[in-house]
Structures are given as C-alpha cells and as structure tokens.
Structure 1
C-alpha cells in the first residue's frame, strides 16, 4: 500500500466521491483540484447541500437576476439553478466517466424530497431531471422509501441511472436490490442497452451510530457502553454480505451476460458525528473493492492526512457484525424501530432543507426584481 491514504483507498478499489457541490466549487476550480489531487472521481448532492450553497454564496447572483428578469417562479428557478450546477459538474467529470467505462465520473441529483411517498410523481420527476440535465454521467437520486421502490424500478426500466438514497436497514437494502434487478429486467425488455445503466445504493452509516448510541446511553449496563460506536459498521458489513449474496446465481448472471453492471454499495453519511470516535473510521473500516465512499470535504481531508488504509476490512466479517446486533437485541435495543426512525427523520430533514432552499431562492428573486 502507498503512503498516501487516498491513493491507497483508490488502489484498494474504493471510488472516492465528494458529498458536496456548489457553484463556487465549480467556478473557482476547487472541485477540479480535488479531482487532480485527492482522487475524487464523483460527486453526490442532496437538498441540504444545495440549500447551504444557495444561502452562503454570491456565485448564483447573475443567474438569479436573469431568472428574475424572465419572470421565473421559485420552483422553476430552483430547478434551473440546481440542474445547471449538476450539468457543469457532469462536464467536469466527463473524462473520468469515459475512462472508467461509465463506472465513475458520476454526479447525482435528488428528486424533490416532498415526493418521497409518491411513487408516480417520483418516477416522473426522475425522468424530468434526467432530460433536464441531459448528460450520460448523471445519476438521479431516489429515496428508498416503500413508495420509492417501484419508482426506482420504473426509472431504471427507462434506461436512467439511479442513486438510491436513505437506506438504513439490510432488509430495505434487499428490497432496493430487488427493485434494481427488476428494473434492469424491464429495461432489457424495453430494448435498452444494459451496459449504459448504472446504479449505486447509498447505505447510510454514521446516523446509525448516532441513534443507537443515544439509546444505549439510557441503559445502565457496562455492556451498553461497550457497544457504543459499533452498530453502524456492523450494519454496513451485513449490507455488504447481502450484496454479495444477491449479485450471484442464475437470475443475475443472465443480466450480467447482457452487459449489466451490479448496483454498487455506496457508503453515505461517512462524516463522524461523535468527537470521541476516529474521524476516519467510516472510511478505514469499510474498505473493499467495488464500493463507493462519498465523503464530506472535512472527512476527505482527514483521510488524506491520517487515514489508516490497510486493505480489505469488510469481506468475511458478517458473523462478527451479526454478533453486535445480537448483543444489541439482548439489551433491548429495537433495531427495527431505529431504522424506521432514521428513515422518517432522513426524509423530514431533506424536506426541511428543500423548504429552506425555496425560501432562499424566493428572497433572492424578490431582491433581484427590486
């Protein structure tokens, strides 16, 4: 392994994506520098990222003035602003997209989070975003809610690449992989070239520890203290075992024979929330070839500075991970309720960010109109 942790991570087969995008990153060359020096080969966005970008930067002023002069309403302005950033990022990553045969060089944009429980409108919005950005290296993000699952299938069936987001439980992850495989089967029936359809499944990590630790702290038992900070990695290890199990056997092999690529696991929410934990643990402990780790910039720089990349830290650890969940259950931790809570909060947080984004753009449009 090389002494450069990010290079080592890349050499170990992990695709490094940045979990952030803004007009300023694009226009100042910051994103290009991260590509050149930090092994970044993709970008993910979400409503919170865009809300922060619009509220903290002046880079959007010129476009907002043009939109105001045109009489654009808030919803249309948000769509145009966000798709412009994503389209330009897609262009920046185009060489990586082509050199990796479409595996990396990907940029993700999320459907309106207010549609998370509406299958029909989510599927329609996903296709609209695909057409609006009009770049082959786009991925449309769809949340893994119960209603989102059929929308994922329908979107893939139309030949659109999908980033499935807000996955917390292994059970829901299995549902996501089923939706993916069914979508590819339908895409094949619809005459699409499966080689051009890619997908990642964004399995959230740190938020699991945050919620489980909160519940463990209420239990007066040394065994509870010993389990703090262990649930998130264990959950991800079990997810990877489910991935290995799913993408094997005759059903998948039939699709692979037609050029289909497996839906890669993507470790999301890898910024560490608890200062008592290593700030690189959700990277160091989740190294295995063929996955993506999308990091906030703070985590990216922490890994570059002192990450401990020692090779595969995932394969063959499912039994060890299951033991963690058995111990949690023995202490009375309702992990099913943990996952329901996290999904509900995840959707609510994105809805809140979307509302903030709309409010910010409304104010900017009003100001531009004088």
Structure 2
C-alpha cells in the first residue's frame, strides 16, 4: 500500500471541501488505522468519511500481517473457528476503530460527516427480511453513532432501507445506477424518516447517503457506443456517466424543494445526500480526476480510491459548481445517447446484476482468505 503523504494540506481538496463536497476514502484496512494513515488523510486531504465493501476487505486481508494476531486468537480460541464469525469479528473491529478515528469529523459536522460504512452480507441482496435483521445486528455490534449500514438498492432492498431508517439506523444505499431507481431510493428514505418520526424517534440522529455509481456506467456506455461506431456515437464516449450523475443531483434538488421534504426538515431531518461512487477512472485516456472535478456541487459526497484522491490533491483543478450549470447539457447528452441507439435502461439493469455478482464473489474470496488465515494460525 502506498501511504506516502506530504505533511501539508492539499489546496485542491480544501477547495473541493469549500464547495460543499464531502471527501470520503473508498478504502479501509487495519494498517491504515494503526499506522495513522487515515488520520493523516483527514489532516492533509480533507477526508471526512470512509466506505468499505467486500472487495476492500478481501484485499486488506490478503496483504501484510496486520490481521495475524486476531486470526491467531480466533483460530486458537475455546471453540472451533467459524469462518463467517471470524469475518464478522475482523470487519466490525476495523469499522468500529475507523469510526473512532473519524469521530471528530462527525462531531464537528453535527453528525453529517465522519461516517464509516459497512455492507450487509451481499448474499442477502434479494432477501428483504434478512437484510433488515443483519443491518440491525451490525448497528448494535459496532455501536457507533457515526456508522452507516450499506444496503444495495435492489427492488428487495428498498423496503429494507425504509424499515432500517424507520428503526433509527443510518443507511448508505449502495449500487445505484439509474435515475428511476434513485428516485425510488429517495422515496424509501423519506418513508423511513416519516415512520421514525411517527414512532417518536429523534430523526435528527438519522443520516443517509445514496451511492450513485459513475465510472461503471461509462465503461458499459462506451462499449455500446464503440459497437454502434458512428461519429455521433463515438463523440458521446466519456460523457454519459457524468450526465447521468448530474441528472441524479437535479432530482435531489427537486426533492429538497418538495412539500414532503420541507415538512421533514422542519422536524430536523437530514437530507439524504447523493454520493458519487466508483470514481476511479477505468479508461486511461480520460483525466484521472474526471469523476471528481466534473461532479462538484454543494451537499454531495465523493468517495475516492486513494489513487484518485491523491490525483486530485496533486493536480485537480476545482472550478466551482460543475453540476447545476450543466443540467440542460446533461439532458441533451442522455437524449443523444438514446438517439444513436444506446439503451441506458438495459445498461443500468445489467450493471446492478453484475455488481451484485462481483460483491458476492468478493465476499467468497474474503471467506476463503480468512479460512486460510485461520488454518495457518492454528497452533
């Protein structure tokens, strides 16, 4: 892991933060926590949150020796090691520790930032009841107010989001690709807040973000455009994902002006912020800061892999709001994509299915890595 960070504040990330963009790190490992790297990124790169997923945990467990001691304790305990229980113990410990590191950012922002996200077992993505139960158990186990429970935005996940929010548990809704599903996610959040308020809960303590994936949309859209092959189609490459995200933000702003939201805001409810996820550029021909500098607006979150974060810090050019002034252009881009034969609905549906498959594969890799670690650690 590359952890070399200059002990100075980045002007670009400071500007990004000043524009109202919350910078979160899309990575976590025990070494980041114990080495002081995470605290360093908070101090020099304006990081105020962390997101995790099964892929991140699988990668962390596969590297170095940071987990050796805990694996040894689990392997040589009084009972036969259980792989699922070991994964639970390892990941919840990391997230709890990260929550503690980020607690100052949470307190300073009035509970808005300083958040750390952990995902429910992705094998439950189509299981509403199972997701609700596991979200509650994760929340109780980690026991930190600045935790987010990640729930995928599947059709089955939507009622789980509402129920979890209604129980007073903060949620990071993940794996959103389409505007239609994003609108449904917003509705699920608002319904949850309404139910929480009706039950007498303090809604000011409940937070949420909606993770709208970016680069994966361009990957699929660009491939479709290349297949179409016309000059009009090729001219749209690298533009669809940003346009899609900008229109998502436009939906967000419309909701904030709605009577339904105004009533909830009067109770002290926090807006569900759009979060730009999958912001590492997949195509090396594109600027490595593309999905950061082109998605700047007040009240959004951008969660970045470290390489993207450091690229922004090194040479990112922040020019102010790049979303609200470009909504008309975004609508034109999406219309043009359809006009050349692009099927955005089909692409986003495939991306959700593919994303779930990848998360399950990563979870199984995580289980295998921990299983090997337990076997190695047994004395």
SS in 1 for 2:149: strand
Per-residue deviation, 1:176: 0.1
Tell me if 1:54 matches 2:49: no
Q: Distance in 2 between matches of 1:237 and 1:249?
A: 19
Taking the aligned partners of 1:113 and 1:277, their CA distance within structure 2 comes to 31
How far apart are the structure 2 equivalents of 1:33 and 1:309? 22
- In the TM superposition, what whole-angstrom CA distance separates every residue of 1:269-295 from its partner, at most 9, and x where no partner exists? 100000000000100000111110000
1:250 alignment partner in structure 2: 259
3-state SS of 2:228 partner = coil
Given the two structures, how large is their TM-score scaled by the length of structure 2?
Answer: 0.96
8 Å CA contact 2:10, 2:313 repeated in 1? no
For 1:1-370, what aligned pairs fall within 5 Å after superposition? Answer: 4-70=11-77, 71=79, 72-370=81-379
- Distance in 1 (CA, whole Å) between partners of 2:331 and 2:126 is 31
Q: For the residues of structure 1 that align with 2:64 and 2:127, how far apart are their CA atoms?
A: 32
Instruction: Specify every segment of 5 or more residues in structure 2 that has no aligned partner in the other structure, as ranges.
Output: 1-8
- Aligned-residue RMSD, C-alpha: 1.0
Task: Give the 3 Å change call, closer, same or farther, for CA 3–164 of structure 1 in structure 2.
Answer: closer
Gaps of 5+ in 1: none
Q: The residue matched to 1:56 in structure 2 has which SS?
A: coil
Distance in 2 (CA, whole Å) between partners of 1:348 and 1:360 is: 18
User: What is the number of equivalent residue pairs in this alignment?
Assistant: 369
Question: Secondary structure at the residue paired with 1:218?
Answer: helix
Q: Name the CA shift for 1:164/1:369 in 2 (closer, same or farther; >3 Å).
A: same
- Cα displacement (A) at 1:220: 2.5
Shift of 1:319: 1.8
CA distance in 2, matches of 1:249, 1:131: 34
Regions of 4+ moved over 2 Å: none
Find the aligned partners of 1:115 and 1:53 in 2 and give their Cα distance.
23
Offset at residue 3 of structure 1 (A): 8.1
